[in-house]
Chains A and B, each alone.
Chain A
Amino acid sequence: MNLSKLSTLAAAVAAVATLSATPAHAGKTIDAIKARGQVICGVNPSLPGFAAADSQGNWTGFDIDICKAITATLLSDVTKVKWTPLNASQRFAALQSGEIDVLSRNTTWTLTRDASLGLNFTGVTYYDGQGFMVTKKSKITSAKQLKGATVCVQSGTTTEKNLADYSKAMNLNMKPVVFETQEATNKAYFTGRCQVYTTDASGLASVRNKEATNPADHVILPDLISKEPLGPSVRRGDDEWFAIVKWVVFALIEAEEYGITQANVDQMKSSTDPVVQRILGTSEDTGKLLGLDKDWAYRAIKAVGNYGEMFERNLGPNSTLKLPRGANNLWSKGGLIYAPPVR
């Protein structure tokens, strides 16, 4: 909603204005998290598969699991996390002003965001691309047929710009109708105000699945018009915290590569494989270098499983979204998911 958004922004601006101008000292975020006994994680208010709350207020999803893994690593208890649902246009202000510790909200890594918003992307957790959804009735099969179409799009996303670029390059003259919230965008598309809905392909699958009366009536076109590498981000100026968020995700990817799962992580502790030993802290103490204990990665894997399990549970064929692994498979299986070694 517009007013709440403006007030959040205004509050963030006011917060930046009144903060004392002391330089950020190392490890400040970790100290604050330990003192409050809670990680505050900015998430999408409603994007089933990535982040969504059920009627009891339990959050589930891929982005949620990443925060849970970080929380388990730092505080040994996955429940010690506070979820802050954020609109696309609120998210960066919330991170800048210190309202949240980490932003795990299907956010595209771009140069402008990385270089000018006072935040650091810790890596890519999901390789996505922007797509189009149309009704089956329209009999459209390719984005090139969308000449003159009206397109529903949410504000505060990279999507608006990609749409303009594509429309211009292909000479399609598409008309964007920009809404503030995801709900308003969904509603406008499903009432038929727009012939086309555009956002990241994973988001389209999520929206189709959750909002359509009959998901089979809607088609996601095969054309992907952009690269949308999604990943968590943290505030600049705290390298220790940056490193922890980065390496928790790497550890989850490494765990998949070396076959460590949520179910077998306890048995794996007695593994003789030196790599597994290093990840789980049974030989070298890798945690010490990050300012953590040696069980750091063990706790993350125990809490949410490895990267592949997270994907399967929230997005993969066993979930409601049924997204293919595709580019998000391990590098060794033809995908792009690759983590530097834990050593």
Chain B
Amino acid sequence: MEQGRPDLRTASALSPKGIKPARPAPPKKRDWSWRSQALRSLLYQVVALALVISAGYYLLGNTLENMRLRGIKSGFDFLVQPAGFGIGESIIPFDSSESYVKAFAVGVSNTLRVSALGIVLATLLGTFIGIGRLSRNFLLRSLCGAYVEFFRNVPLLLQLFIWYFILTETLPTIEEALKPLPGVFFSKNGLQFPIPLWADGHALTLAGMSLGLVLAVWWGRQSRRHFEASGQLRPVALPALALLAGLGLLGWLLGGSPAALDIPESTELNVVGGGSLTPEYMTVLMGLTVYTAAYIAEIVRGGIQAVPFGQHEASSALGLSRGMEVRLVLLPQALRVIIPPMTSQYLNLTKNSSLAVAVGYPDLVSISTTSLNQTGRAIECIAIIMACYLTLSLLTSWFMNAYNRRSLLKER
């Protein structure tokens, strides 16, 4: 069994695994007579289920019948046809002659690209702001408070428009692009920067980094065990980072240190090559991060304040430093309060990314709208959007609930 948190070792003796539960009474034989509660509740459930199914069946059948009468074609067969439209940006290469399925995949990847990074950034920013609201420093506390009140109370769509306006209005045109570093272009066309060209040597770099990651995890566990056994803390973060970077570097050197870069070059109307972040992507990422961080800040603040003050006093009495107190006492307890509402915020952020279409970012909704208009399959396209968001949301919930269970298990 994996060891729990150090301060909970004694608790494991009291956990359900430690105590043998009393032998349960043999189950009573269920009474299935007409008067029994069991039968009645079963009946109610069967009736309710039948009503839901027949309502769904009626609506579906009626819709199809109406569509047939009005000469509206239906079905998902269009998905394998060539899409015929271009997509401005994507991490998966896409050509207009590829199928609608591929176009939808590009839409999903774009939605994921912005919401995954958005979740990470919003969590970081929100945590800082939330802790800042509890600061003893008046200026910091008030600034963080003002941040929360402002960004939480202005509609997200409006914020997106403002960010987009600021970006596209203030940045120079592509001919007069800012070049903060050689090979880096910053203009109305977005941020373009050099990226390493793939060479076989990079495989060794990746292998080195993977090995570093494994070793870092191992080191983390080792130091935890050491701490539990002896009460002495060993540094974890720095060695882990060193392992990751060092082995990565070693792999890179062994791979012949490939250094070829794909450097963006300016052509007559555009900057081609290299990596790029469009203003649309930056707008959506920034808008979602800043907006959701305001909510996360409140959740973090609430979570920290939910830990009784006595815990702080107790850890001071034990002689823990402020950092150790936060890491070992406050945070583990605050997380239990924080994780469930945080899950909702992650779900909100993902769903709010559907506003991206307003500023021209080709997310799932944007691609679906275009597909819908090319094919006229409104019900099908909306069903696809719903299915995609439902899947993303359920996956996020599932992951967060699993994490939540982990942090809940050690109840004393």
Residues of A within 8 A of B (CB): 1-3, 5-6, 9-10, 12-13, 16-21, 23-24, 88-89, 92-93, 96, 112-113, 115-118, 138, 145-150, 152, 155-157, 160-161, 163-165, 167-168, 174-180, 184, 187-188, 191-193, 195, 235-237
Contact = CB atoms under 8 A, between A and B. Distances in A.
B71 A160 contact: no
A168 B188 CA distance: 24
Interface residues of B, number: 56
Nearest to A117: B376
Nearest to A175: B88
Contacts of A187: 165
Contact of A13 (B168, B173, B378): B378
Interface in B241-296: 267-270, 272, 278-280
Contacts of A156: 369-370, 372-373
A155 B73 CA distance: 21
B366 A21 contact: no
B154 interface: no
A149 B72 contact: no
A136 B87 CA distance: 27
Contacts of B62: 17-21
A18 B59 contact: yes
A165 B84 CA distance: 7
A145 B189 CA distance: 18
A167 B168 CA distance: 25
B189 A157 contact: no
Interface string B143-164: 0000000000000010000000
Contact of B157 (A1, A152, A174): A1
12 contacts: A3-B355, A18-B59, A19-B62, A23-B69, A89-B372, A93-B378, A148-B267, A148-B270, A160-B374, A168-B97, A175-B270, A237-B69
Interface of B: 59-60, 62-63, 65-67, 69-73, 84-89, 95-97, 157, 165, 168-169, 173-174, 188-189, 267-270, 272, 278-280, 354-355, 357-360, 362, 365-366, 369-370, 372-376, 378-379, 382
B189 A160 contact: no
A134 to B, nearest CB: 10
Contact of A178 (B72, B97, B366): B366
A161 B376 contact: no
Given A24-B69, A89-B372, A193 B269 contact: no
Contact of B360 (A89, A117, A177): A177
B370 A180 contact: no
Contacts of A138: 269
B69 A3 contact: no
A118 B358 contact: no
* Nearest 9 CB-CB pairings of A with B: A148-B270, A164-B96, A118-B72, A118-B70, A116-B73, A156-B373, A164-B86, A117-B376, A21-B65
Given A13-B379, A146-B269, A177-B280, A96 B86 contact: no
Contacts of B370: 155-156, 160, 178
B71 A236 contact: yes
Given A9-B382, A178-B370, A17 B59 contact: yes
A152 B174 CA distance: 15
B162 to A, nearest CB: 13
Contacts of A23: 69
Contact of B365 (A1, A2, A93): A2
A39 B378 CA distance: 25
B70 A96 contact: yes
Contacts of A152: 360
A3 B157 contact: yes
A176 B87 contact: yes
A193 B374 contact: no
B86 A174 contact: yes
Contacts of B366: 155, 178, 180
A179 B376 CA distance: 19
A3 B357 CA distance: 10
Contact of A184 (B359, B374, B376): B359
A19 to B, nearest CB: 5
B382 A10 contact: yes
Contacts of B359: 179, 184
Most buried by A among B71, B95, B366: B71
A150 B71 contact: no
Nearest to B69: A23
A271 B330 CA distance: 96
B88 A178 contact: yes
Given A112-B376, A193-B168, A193-B188, A21 B72 contact: no
Given A19-B66, A161-B374, 6 more contacts: A2-B354, A148-B268, A156-B370, A179-B358, A184-B358, A192-B173
B267 A237 contact: no
B320 to A, nearest CB: 49
B86 A176 contact: yes
Contacts of B63: 13, 16-17
Contacts of A19: 62, 66
B71 A237 contact: yes
A305 to B, nearest CB: 34
Given A16-B63, A178-B362, A167 B86 contact: yes
A160 B85 contact: yes
Contacts of B376: 92, 112-113, 116-117
Given A13-B382, A17-B59, A24-B70, A160 B372 contact: no
